[in-house]
Amino acid sequence: MGVVVVSGGSTGGPAAAAGGGGGGNGGSAAGSCCDVSLKCWCKWRWGDHQQHLLPHKVFSVFSSGFLFLLGCLIVYGLIGVIYGWLLFNKPYVGNGVMGLNSFGCLEDGEGSWSVGVFYGDSPFSLKPIEAANLWKNESKAWPVANPVVTCASVSDAGFPSNFVADPFLYLQGDTLFLFYETKNPLTMQGDIGVAKSTDKGATWKQLGIALDEDWHLSFPYVFDYHGQVYMIPESSMKGELRLYRALEFPLQWTLEKILIKKPLVDSTIINYEGHYWLFGSDHSGFGTKKNGQLEIWHSSSPLGPWKPHKKNPIYNIDKSMGARNGGRPFVYNGNLYRFGQDCGETYGRRVRAFKVEILSKDAYKEVEVPLGFEEPTKGRNAWNGARHHHLDVQQLSSGEWIGVMDGDRVPSGDPSHRFMVGCASLGAAAAVVIVLGLLLGAVKCLIPLNWCAHYSGKRSDALLVWERSNLFSSRARRFCSRVNRVPISIRGKVKYNTWAGRLVLAVLFLVGAALMCTGVKNVYGGNGAEEAYPLNGYYSQFTLLTMTYDARLWNLKMYVKHYSRCSSVKEIVVVWNKGIPPKASDLDSAVPVRIRVEKENSLNNRFKKDEMIKTRGVLELDDDIMMTCDDVERGFNVWRQHPDRIVGFYPRLISGNPLKYRAEKYARSHKGYNMILTGAAFVDSTIAFGRYWGEQAKAGRELVDRYFNCEDVLLNYLYANASSTKTVEYVRPAWAIDTSKFSGAAISKNTQVHYGIRSRCLMRFTQMYGSLSDRKWEFDGRKDGWDL
C-alpha cells in the first residue's frame, strides 16, 4: 500500500503552492505536482482544508494521505489477524489429540499422501476397508476406516514423516508387510519404510526405515526370486536402476547390483510367459515427455542382463494417457494387466488399468479396461479426494484380493498455488484501498514525480539536455503524468455525503476486507480440508441420524449436502415422521442416504433400534442445526475415547428445588453441567437404543408421547441411572446455527412453554429414575481444551 499523497508546490511560497511550480513557472490546476513539466516534488502534507492555517508548513509525515493509508493498514490488518486467529489457531479447539509427532506431518509441496486398504473378489472390484465393516476394539474403530497408514502413525512410531506413498505389499502366509515411500521432514528426501499386519491390513505395526540412502528413494517394488527377497526402489537421482537384496528381512538390505545404467523411475519386473519383463520410464532424454514415457526391457532372469525392447520408447505421449507405472503388473485369469498414472490435471491424478494384449521382444499392445474403483466424492475432506496414483494388488490365501492405494486430499503444488492466490488477493486489497483513497480525496497522486523523473534540486544544463533527448525518460514522465490524472478524473464521481455514495464506499470496504481474509487464508492457512481426527493412529466412521417431516424438507436438503461431505460420515439415516417422504435421489449426498418412514409421529422414533445401522457410533443431530465438519469430527474423536458416554455440543445443568429446565447460560454461570442434549450428540447405538427401549424406560416413553417433548432428557436419565460414573461429555463447537429460526417450521416456537414442559419432565423423570442434581462436571476438564 505504498501510495503517497502528492501536493503541488516548491519553496516558492503560497503562490507556488496555489498553482505555480518551482522556478516561478505559472500554472493552473494542471500545473500541480502531478504535472511533470514542473520541477515540483512530492511531499506529504495536511489536507487542503488546513492549508490556510499553516500555509508555509509542509509536513513529511502527518499528511491526510498518510493517515488514511495508516488507518487502512491498521483496520485491514486487524481484520486479517482476527480472521487468521479464529480460523487457523482455533482457540476454541485447544490442542493435544492429534497425536502428531512435532517433527512430522508438516505441509509439503509434494502433497499429504497416505495409504488405504481395499478388498474385493477380484482386482477390479475393490472396496475400501470400511465397506468390510471390520471392528477393532484395540484401536477403538467401529468400523476401521481408511487411511490405515499416515504420516501421523509413522511419526508417532518414532520415524518422522511428512507423507507416505507408493505402497507395495509382500506376503508371508497370512502376514502382510507394507513397504512405502516416507518423506523425511529433516532431510526432505524419500526413504523406504516398512510396516507389518497380521489382521489383513486392518491395523499396522510400524517396524522402521528399511532403506535410507543419500539420495531420494521411492516406489519400493519388492519380490522374491530363488528364495531371496529383492527390492528395486526408484533411485533416478543416482542415475541408475539399483537392485537390493534382504540380509535380514525386512529391515536390512544390501546393494546386489546395478541392473541398468539409466535413471528409470517407477520400475517393476514380472515373469510372464517364460520371460522377465521390466517396465520403467526414463525422463532424462531429449524430447521426452515427462510422465508420458514408457520403456520395456527383457531378460531370462530378474538379475539381468537386460535388453531393451525394439520399440523403445513404447510410449512418448501425453502425460494423461497412463504411460508411467502406477503399481505392480499382475496376472488375472491368464491375462497380464498394468497400472498406469494419469497425470493430466495434476501429477498422479488417478490410476488407470490396461490389459496387455501383445508382449514380445519386438511388439507391444495394451488396451485400457475399467479399474472398478469408485472416485471419492467428499473433495478435500476425503483422504484421497484430490488424487491417487499408485495401486498394488495381491491375492490372499483365502482367494480374496487385497489392494493398497495411496491418496492425497490436495493436488500437486497446492501450497505454492495457495501462496500465489493469497499474494494476488492481498495486492487486490491494496488496490481497493487506493481506490477508496482516491474517491475520498485522501490520495491525490498515484506516482510521485521523483519516481519517474530525475530530480535533485537544481539540475545542470547537461542533465536537462540528457532528459530532453532521452526517449525512455520522456516516455516515463508522460506515463507518470497520465497516471496522475486518474485521481482528478475519479475524484467527485462518488458523493460520500449521499446514501448512494456511502453505499459504494461501504461495498468497496467490504470487498477489501474479503480480499484481505482471502489473502490471509491462502498465505497462512491450511489446505481447506476439515479432516478427521485419528485416535491411536486409526480412523473410523459413524452414522448420522436425523428426524424430520415434510414441512422441513428445505432444511433437510441443505443438511444432507453439508454433512455428507464430512470425512467420517458413513451413512445418513432420515427418520421420516410425517408427510410424503422425498426420494433419496432428491438429496445431494456424498454418502448413502436411507429414509426410514415411521408409522407414527413420535419423538421416540429417534432412538428406535435399527439393525441396518452398521456403525457403533451414531450422531443424533437435529435437521435444523448447522455446524462445521471440524466440530463434528472433534465430537466423534471424543466419543471414541468414551463410547459409554453421551458426547455432545449442548450442555445443561439440572439443579435447584423445584427442578427447573434452563438454557446453557445457567450451566456456564454455575461452571458445570450434568446433561447433554441429544439434538446434537454422539451415542453408542447398541447401548443408547437398548436402554431407551428397555422395559424400565416404558413409562418415560409414554410421557414423551404425551408431551411430545423430552426424549433427550429421558435418555440422559437412563444413562445416569445405569452408572455411578460420568455419563456425559461436552465438546464446544466453533459455531452452530439453528436454521429453523429462518422459517416457520420450528418445533419449539414458544421457548417459555417449551421450557415449562421440560421442567415438568424433570420432576417426573426424577421420580422414576433418580436425581441428576447430585452430579456435576466442570467445564475445561479436558487436557485438549475442547470443553472450554
User: 759 is written with which cell numbers?
Assistant: 421442567
Asked if 690 and 573 sit in the same domain, the reply is yes
Return the number of other C-beta atoms located less than 10 Å from residue 513's C-beta.
Answer: 17
For residue 248, with 0-12 CB atoms within 10 Å meaning exposed, 13-18 middle and 19 or more buried, which class applies? Answer: exposed
Q: Is 88 left (phi over 0), alpha (psi -120 to 50) or beta?
A: alpha
In a domain, 104, yes or no: no
* 3-state SS string for 360-377: CCCCEEEEEECCCCCCCC
Cis peptide before 143 (omega within 30 of 0): yes
| Half-sphere exposure for 459 (CA within 13 Å, toward CB) | 17
- Are the C-beta atoms of residues 217 and 211 closer than 8 Å to each other? yes
Asked if 593 and 478 sit in the same domain, the reply is no
Asked if 423 and 408 sit in the same domain, the reply is no
Asked if 506 and 562 sit in the same domain, the reply is no
Write down the pLDDT at residue 54: 44
Which ranges of 496-621 would DSSP assign to H, the alpha helix? 499-524, 553-563
User: 469 is written with which cell numbers?
Assistant: 533527448
Asked if 166 and 140 sit in the same domain, the reply is yes
Final residue of a domain: which of 524, 550, 580?
524
Residue 515: give the domain boundaries: 14-81+417-524
Gap between the Cα atoms of 509 and 436, Å rounded: 8
From the list 342, 406, 712, 787, the catalytic residue is 712
CA distances from 346 to 391, 411, 664 (A): 17, 6, 48
In a domain, 89, yes or no: no
Which ranges of 402-453 would DSSP assign to H, the alpha helix? 414-440, 449-452
Write down the pLDDT at residue 89: 54
Gap between the Cα atoms of 369 and 340, Å rounded: 11
Asked if 504 and 606 sit in the same domain, the reply is no
Asked if 198 and 124 sit in the same domain, the reply is yes
What global pTM score does this model have?
0.82
In a domain, 4, yes or no: no
In a domain, 657, yes or no: yes
Write down the pLDDT at residue 49: 41
Write down the pLDDT at residue 505: 86
In a domain, 107, yes or no: no
In a domain, 95, yes or no: no
Known catalytic residue: 622? no
In a domain, 158, yes or no: yes
Asked if 194 and 319 sit in the same domain, the reply is yes
Gap between the Cα atoms of 333 and 765, Å rounded: 65
User: 646 is written with which cell numbers?
Assistant: 453421551
In a domain, 467, yes or no: yes
Write down the pLDDT at residue 742: 65
> What's the chain's Rg over C-alpha atoms?
35
Final residue of a domain: which of 467, 498, 524?
524
CATH number at residue 291: 2.115.10.20
Final residue of a domain: which of 496, 524, 552?
524
Name the stretches of the chain with pLDDT < 70. 1-63, 87-102, 444-493, 741-749
Asked if 401 and 262 sit in the same domain, the reply is yes
The label of the residue with cell 498515484 reads 446
Write down the pLDDT at residue 473: 60
Asked if 449 and 491 sit in the same domain, the reply is yes
Q: Parallel, antiparallel, or unpaired: how do β-strands 569-576 and 593-597 relate?
A: parallel
Asked if 673 and 620 sit in the same domain, the reply is yes
Query: Number of structural domains, the chain?
Result: 3
Asked if 379 and 514 sit in the same domain, the reply is no
Residues listed for the chain: 788
Gap between the Cα atoms of 263 and 234, Å rounded: 9
Calculate the average pLDDT of the chain.
86
